[in-house]
Structure 1
Amino acid sequence: MSTAVRAIRHQRHDAGDRPFIVIWESTRACPLACLHCRAEAVPDRDPRELDTAAARDLLDQVAAFGQPAPLFVITGGDPFQRTDLTELITYGREAGVRVAVSPSGTPTLTAERLRELHAAGAVGLSLSLDGSTAAIHDDFRGVPGVFRWTLDAWDAARAHGMRVQINTTIARHNLHDLPDIVRLVSEHGAVLWSAFFLVPTGRGRSLGALTAGEVEDVLNFVYDVGLTIPAKTTEAHHFRRVVLQRQVLAATGDDHVAVLGLGPLYRELRERAAELGLDAGPRRVRRPPLDVNAGRGFVFISHTGTVHPSGFLPLGAGSVRETPLTEIYRTSELFTGLRDADRLGGRCGACEFRRVCGGSRSRAYGLTGDPYAEEPWCGYAPGSFPRQRELAELLGGADTEPPVRPAPSAASDAKEHRAHQER
């Protein structure tokens, strides 16, 4: 087994045959008014939603991929707005489908309801934490009290023995608060912290974009805290590039700050993490990121049954009311196209990391209208990483194309890389 396999986890099954995870937007009804909401959630349920019978059929379609079936995540809106939630979890368990729930932090998220989810067979719970204080989190979520409800639900779920994942939307409002959020994750405990990099869809279009330099700084910070808490990214697929770069630089003894041209935000985040003692505790084994992307191991079902490569990529490939999910995922032009790295354009198409990264297809589409365009929030210049020979050994032949150009030295690369990020 090559070292690259250990640096990047690959899906157990062929990503063209079955997804790793299926997300179902069970409803768009939600009492919150989150600034970034992809679904542009509304107070009332839509009469076009998949009803209980159609939702059961969807679970059967997921089971049809074969065993072990993909993980099925029920999200929203607020899934607790559906009175059949626990019934569907039980049905999924009986059909051989592992079901997790991603609820909103509202008064519906009570200890009793969490106990019911656990008893019905939910395998996990994911909660959103977008600030380390009520002031930051509640302002982002649009309703006072959400921060407290979230922490209480988090502790109650863990008390019931549930596996809890914490998701943090990274945007301008909390860039400097990330170490304090990590401290809360460390203190309350979670199986995983997911740093979600905003995609400009829904209400999220109104939020300010990060610069490529800021993204690089945060991705490297996420890599660092992976020794403190289990950490991953969502819609920041170039984190896999960062993981490979950092592994190579650690082996060669190079200074990653200088070679990668990391900036003041990275230094600030690292200093704050040190102040909070996040570096002082026992070190854990870093969790390798999983090679999943829109349409490549990932599929999203809307509340009305339309099928998308991602909840943040609104292009549709059919409806589960009319065509089996297995057929849509395996054969639709949209899904098969997104699984072809050779269709990527711009810098992504020329990048030596394209087969283990691929960039956010959702963000590319959201900002350019082209799902195959280059990743807008990535500042990496293809071929500029100075340790290409060591990288090729680590990749183990995952990509056969040579870099676009050689990088003569770590110092010159850092200077050019930072200049590119700031343009």
Structure 2
Amino acid sequence: MQRHDPAQRPMLVTWEATRACALACRHCRAEAVPLRSPAELSLEEAKSLMDEAASFGQPAVIFIITGGDCFERPDLAELAAYGTGLGLHVALSPSGTDRLTKEALAELQEAGVNVISLSIDGATAATHDAFRGLERTFDRTIAGWRAARELGMRVQINSVVARHNVHELPDIAALVREHGAMTWSGFLLVPTGRGVDLGALDADEVEDVLGAFYDMGETVPVRTTEGHHFRRVCLQRQVLAERGIVGEEMMRVMGYGPLYRELRGRIAELGLDAGQRRRRLPITVSSGSGFVFVSHTGEVTPSGFLEKSAGNVRDSSLTQIYRSSEVFTGVRDPELLKGRCGACEYRSVCGGSRARAYNMTGDLHAEDASCNYRPGSFPYAQEAAALMARPTGPRPRRGAREGR
């Protein structure tokens, strides 16, 4: 669980600095365009937003500047320096364009930025570039990744999980192992923006992918985005591991299917299931609960994928919106959940993707259709409940690490 009260302060504030971007990514939430909008927050408005983020108090929030491509803002270095001067932990999420150079990263590092996130959506240039809509995007991203590591910056790698690349996930993990990253996050596609018709996996396939992510957690620092039921999977797999239930029996209990077996085979071929990394515990950060998103025009939503505005920073307080608005208090209340999410014994640590539920049904509290778990079906429920009751969550098995 989060160490602070998520009803009072977020861990992460993400600001969409612009929707301008040179890429034409097939899944783009922002439906990015080539040119900046005159409706974007100005330099002074952006600084006021950072003041608001700092007013949440200590420990300071992580303030992520994203886009579009944040490098399209000519005032990016000034904003980064201002935010770090306030004590915020400023991070960047740039696109893999020709603006992503070692010189540009060094300038941002001088302004106090030491963390960036980059997207790798295929194990090869052919897969990645086709998805991102521009040739050489893969090469530029890899070069930017290397440059950041050479500068001593910490790098998070994000990978959309969809039909175009699901069979390449172990090979993407191998790239993460090769180049090094603080985190590799698998983003389970949410139907929004250009991603509405991209082809998300069905619930059984998602369960297989989450199982594969768990297996790779001993070698690479895995987490998920909009895949909150990974927390349930981690708890259940931990119970099974402590009971010595592995192999075919583990797969039977978890209900894994052919996709898991395929991915598992490739994981073994690449040696991704036998590392010495200690699993990091999944963190219960989700839309509106430890996380807040501010659009390029100042609209405040629980996440960038849940486009239900709770107010605008141009005329309302970010802290008040986060703490008191009906949208935010609603997504934080597990008692409002419906369907299988509402009945699930893991709802306090998972709760499903509210973005996916809202985009697919129009109901913030509907069940998450990407999860195939039937509440109460795990045979060792008491042991899983005991893990959830531990003050620091499930104890990691020696030699492994997990992200949220």
**TM-score category of the 2 structures, normalised to the smaller one:** over 0.9
Give, in angstroms, the shift of residue 396 of structure 1. Answer: 2.2
| Alignment pair present for 1:310 and 2:303 | yes
| Alignment pair present for 1:265 and 2:259 | yes
Deviations 1:307-364 (A, max 9, x none): 0000000000001111111110000011011110000000000000000100000000
Give, in angstroms, the shift of residue 123 of structure 1. Answer: 2.6
Residue from 380, 396, 403 that aligns with 2:389: 396
Give, in angstroms, the shift of residue 293 of structure 1. Answer: 1.1
Corresponding residue of 2:238: 247
Contact 2:218 2:272 survives alignment (8 Å): no
Between the aligned partners of 1:303 and 1:228, the Cα distance in structure 2 is 37
Corresponding residue of 1:350: 343
Between the aligned partners of 1:155 and 1:246, the Cα distance in structure 2 is 34
Corresponding residue of 1:131: 122
Deviations 1:23-66 (A, max 9, x none): 00000000100000000000110001001000000000000000
Deviations 1:380-408 (A, max 9, x none): 0000111112122222299xxxxxxxxxx
Between the aligned partners of 1:376 and 1:127, the Cα distance in structure 2 is 28
Contact 1:67 1:96 survives alignment (8 Å): no
Query: Is the partner of 1:127 in helix, strand or coil?
Result: strand
Task: Tell me how many residue pairs correspond in the alignment.
Answer: 388
Alignment of 1:198-277 (within 5 A): 198-254=189-245, 255-277=249-271
Structure 1-normalised TM-score? 0.90
Corresponding residue of 1:153: 144
Structure 2-normalised TM-score? 0.95
Contact 1:18 1:330 survives alignment (8 Å): yes
Between the aligned partners of 1:256 and 1:326, the Cα distance in structure 2 is 45
Contact 1:172 1:208 survives alignment (8 Å): yes
Corresponding residue of 1:401: none
Alignment of 1:14-25 (within 5 A): 14-25=5-16
% identity of equivalent residues: 61
Between the aligned partners of 1:25 and 1:378, the Cα distance in structure 2 is 29
Corresponding residue of 1:114: 105
Amino acid at match of 1:214: E
Query: Is the partner of 1:61 in helix, strand or coil?
Result: helix
Between the aligned partners of 2:205 and 2:390, the Cα distance in structure 1 is 30
Query: Is the partner of 2:36 in helix, strand or coil?
Result: coil
Contact 2:215 2:273 survives alignment (8 Å): no
Corresponding residue of 1:285: 278
Give, in angstroms, the shift of residue 93 of structure 1. Answer: 0.8
Contact 1:350 1:382 survives alignment (8 Å): yes
| Alignment pair present for 1:297 and 2:290 | yes
Amino acid at match of 1:144: E
Amino acid at match of 2:123: S
Query: Is the partner of 1:172 in helix, strand or coil?
Result: coil
Amino acid at match of 1:269: L
Residue from 140, 153, 156 that aligns with 1:162: 153
Between the aligned partners of 1:391 and 1:290, the Cα distance in structure 2 is 16
Query: Is the partner of 1:164 in helix, strand or coil?
Result: strand
After the TM superposition, list the runs of 4 or more consecutive aligned residues in structure 1 that deviate by more than 6 angstroms: none
